[in-house]
Amino acid sequence: MTDIVAELQEAIGEEKVLSSPVDLIAYSFDGTFEQHAPEAVVLPETDEDVAAVIKVASRLEVPVVARGMSSGLAGGSIPFSGGVVVSLTRMNRILEIDEENMTVSVEAGVVTADLQAEVEKLGLFFPPDPSSNRQSTIGGNIACDAGGPRCLKYGVTGDYVLGLAVVLHDGRLLETGGKSIKNVVGYDLTSLFVGSEGTLGIITRALLRLVARPQFVRTALAYFPSLDDSSRTASAILSAGIVPATLELMDETAMTCIEEAMHLGLPLDVEAMLIIETDGSDEEAVVREIGEVARICRETGAREVKVARDEAERDTLWKARRSVSPSLARQAPNKLGEDITVPRSAIPEAIRRIRAISESYGLPMVIFGHAGDGNLHPNVLFDRRDPGQWEKVEQIVGEVFNVALELGGTLSGEHGVGTFKLPYVEQALGATSIDIQWRVKRALDPQNILNPGKVLPDT
Ligand SMILES: Cc1cc2nc3c(=O)[nH]c(=O)nc-3n(C[C@H](O)[C@H](O)[C@H](O)COP(=O)(O)OP(=O)(O)OC[C@H]3O[C@@H](n4cnc5c(N)ncnc54)[C@H](O)[C@@H]3O)c2cc1C
């Protein structure tokens, strides 16, 4: 243990290595309730620092766990096997905004919201919007292929990655992609690292695509007595040729939970609510589209539809959605937020089955998500200190994943596998896919030191 700290200090300088018990505990968590302390934490400032750290780890054969802001919800950045945590937060510079080519080049540790604010000053836009954009880094977003409400219209993080700089297991720097939009020379290594959760290399820099910032946004909220109608509405809106920027769904359990905590006046006799936004650079078109959305909602069974007239009203309409997480925290000491996806048409069936699971185990579950792309977040509320409850949570999660797979969906739309979903990955992907993925992993990490025990189940 002392050896590794001394070797790291020698390699990159004492001031970039943390090893006190307090520091190690501070770097032992992510956004879940699990923890495991590393043996050392490093705070690199350059590609060369990251390479030097990986070379030490490779020589000593200890794990290396990349870490952004540890907001992950799958245990991905928890160093369960010990070793070195590589925190990228000092590598947080925006290196270049190229207005003509609409690209931005950043270091991996830049906070997503900081990047968004900078490009928006120039009328540009980086659309992927995880709700954690103030608590997560671009490197972490790329490593998890993060999504968010706007992804229905604009796509997920990976859709904006044009190139990467990645430090490999032997300390070499791999640079992929570039500013050309079309590029089909060789395998698409950029995409290989998107969603790889730190298991194939450490991303140090990224070249990202930008779009023009939409000038106008309109927001509507609709209450539905019937869950099926709310789901049909999402499809009807898309079939009418409108691609909303967001199409968020909350079921009655989520609404009840928010109402108990926030007293916003949400109706408690409906089965679902939708928040829908249209955006663009032509105000008339945006207004026309939200009017059309409101009409479709009424036609497909909404009891009440509200359209915000200004920014203050828009803020009020969003308050319920933004209050979900704090409201859940008041209900139980712990929550496990899952992240399944199903085909859009299967949302009502998925919600009904998940509610039945919740009832059969006697633990409350709250469901909300992105109705437009079928990405649901069922949250189990429980007390981790009660072993009986934890056992039930594990069974519930297995059953929820079964529901997703049976309905033609999968285990994760945006949070990734980490360690939490490992037992279910083979069922989702099949043995051949797991075999091929292990071959890729072994080619890029022959010593299995890069975030071991994540993403791929043991074979
Ligand atoms: C309140 C809350 C809301 C959230 N909302 C959303 C949401 O709307 N959408 C969504 O997609 N997620 C959401 N998340 C989950 C989380 O914020 C995302 O997964 C995010 O992308 C993680 O970024 P991070 O910088 O915190 O990474 P970390 O949590 O530090 O790491 C996550 C994974 O990425 C790897 N990693 C991190 N940086 C690098 C790097 N530079 N190179 C290689 N691997 C790296 C880690 O090893 C780990 O496996 C939410 C989390 C919270 C707590």
pLDDT in tens, 294-332: 999 999 999 999 999 999 999 988 988 888 888 888 889
Q: What distances in angstroms separate CA 7 from CA 2, 3, 42, 116, 204, one per listed residue? A: 9, 6, 12, 38, 22
Global pTM reads 0.96
Distance 313 CA to ligand 1 centre (A): 31
Q: Are residues 33 and 52 in the same domain?
A: yes
51/146 same-domain check: no
Q: 73 in a domain, yes or no?
A: yes
- The verdict on residue 446 lying in a domain is no
Q: What is the pLDDT of residue 322?
A: 84
> Mean pLDDT throughout 183-196?
96
**Same domain assignment for residues 110 and 85:** no
Q: What is the count of structural domains for the chain?
A: 4
Closest protein CA for atom 37 of ligand 1: 140
Structure tokens at 443: 């080619």
Residue nearest to atom 28 of ligand 1 (CA): 70
How many angstroms is it from 91 CA to the middle of ligand 1?
16
Asked if the structure places residue 435 within a domain, the reply is: no
CA distance 217 to 401: 35
Measured between alpha carbons, how far is 401 from 339 in angstroms, rounded to an integer?
A: 9
pLDDT over 70 (residue 2): no
Domain co-membership, 126 together with 225 = no
The reply to whether 234 and 208 lie within a common domain is no
Q: In this structure, are 336 and 410 located in the same domain?
A: yes
Residue 37: CATH number of its domain: 3.30.43.10
Host domain of residue 13: 2-89
Residues enclosing ligand 1, CB less than 6 A? 30-31, 65-73, 76-77, 88, 108, 130-132, 136-137, 139-141, 143-144, 146-148, 197-198, 202-203, 325, 414-415, 451, 454
Which atom of ligand 1 sits closest to the CA of residue 416?
19
Looking at the fold, whether 82 and 136 belong to one and the same domain comes out as: no
pLDDT, tens digit, for every residue of 361-396? 999 999 999 999 999 999 999 998 999 999 999 999
Q: Which CATH number fits the domain that encloses residue 160?
A: 3.30.465.10
* Mean model confidence pLDDT for the chain: 95
pLDDT reading at 1 higher than 50: no
C-alpha of residue 69 to centroid of ligand 1, in Å:
7
Shared domain check, 100 and 84: no
Give residue 135 CA to ligand 1 midpoint distance, Å.
9
**Do both 57 and 44 map to the same domain?**
yes
Q: What is the CATH number of the domain that holds 416?
A: 3.30.70.2740
Determine the pLDDT at residue 323: 87
CA distance 221 to 318: 9
Residue 145 falls in which region: left (phi positive, over 0), alpha (psi -120 to 50) or beta: left
For 101-166, give the secondary structure using H, E and C: CCEEEEECCCEHHHHHHHHHCCCEECCCCCCCCCCCEHHHHHHHCCCCCCHHHHCCHHHHEEEEEE
Q: Cβ contacts of residue 62 below 8 Å, gap of 6+?
A: 4, 39, 82, 83, 84, 449
Q: Please, is 33 exposed, middle or buried when counting C-beta atoms within 10 Å of its C-beta (0-12, 13-18, 19+)?
A: middle
Same domain, 222 and 288: yes
135 Cα nearest atom in ligand 1: 26
Distance from the alpha carbon of residue 70 to the mean position of ligand 1, in angstroms: 6
pLDDT 10s digits, 45-98: 999 999 999 999 999 999 999 999 999 999 999 999 999 999 999 999 999 999
Q: Is residue 448 part of a domain?
A: no
Q: Are residues 304 and 409 in the same domain?
A: no
Is 395 part of a structural domain of the chain? yes
pLDDT band of 8, cuts 50, 70, 90: very high
DSSP state, residue 15: G
Q: Which of 171, 188, 212 lies at the terminal end of a domain, its last residue?
A: 212
- Separation of CA 129 and ligand 1 centre (Å): 12
On whether both 344 and 372 belong to a single domain, the answer is yes
